[in-house]
Amino acid sequence: MAQGLFVTGFTVADVLAIQSKAKQMIMEGKTIMSWGDSGTSVTKQFPMTVKETLAECAYALRVLDPETYEPGRRIGQSTVDYIQR
């Protein structure tokens, strides 16, 4: 459950940039950052998981711009009724 971490001090543009980066990491398979070679190891830890980041972004967008990102809004939905005769 989102805690509203990106609501205060972030703009919609900021949140969209964070969301885009999280999506990019998923698509590139970069959710775990660890590397080791010849006795040297490097680990990069993110402040939250990609899943948590996306949830926080979705929540923040609904709070910061409810007209565009309201929870029940469906974009691009169409229905076709076929009448059988």
Residues 14-44: tens digit of each pLDDT: 999 999 998 888 887 765 566 677 778 777 6
How much is the mean pLDDT over the chain? 80
At 39 the pLDDT is: 79
CB-based contact 60:11 (threshold 8 Å) = no
Q: Which residues pair with 58 in a beta bridge?
A: none
Instruction: Write out the residue range of the structural domain in which residue 52 sits.
Output: 12-65
Q: What percent of the chain has pLDDT over 90?
A: 40
Is 58 part of a structural domain of the chain?
Answer: yes
Is 77 part of a structural domain of the chain?
Answer: no
Per the structure, how many domains does the chain have?
A: 1
Given a cut of 90, whether residue 76 has pLDDT beyond it is no
| Residue 59, both tokens | 């929540």
Strand, coil or helix: 71: coil
Nearest Cα residue to 44 out of 65, 27, 26, 30: 30
- The CA distance from 84 to 76, in Å, is 26
Is 70 part of a structural domain of the chain?
Answer: no
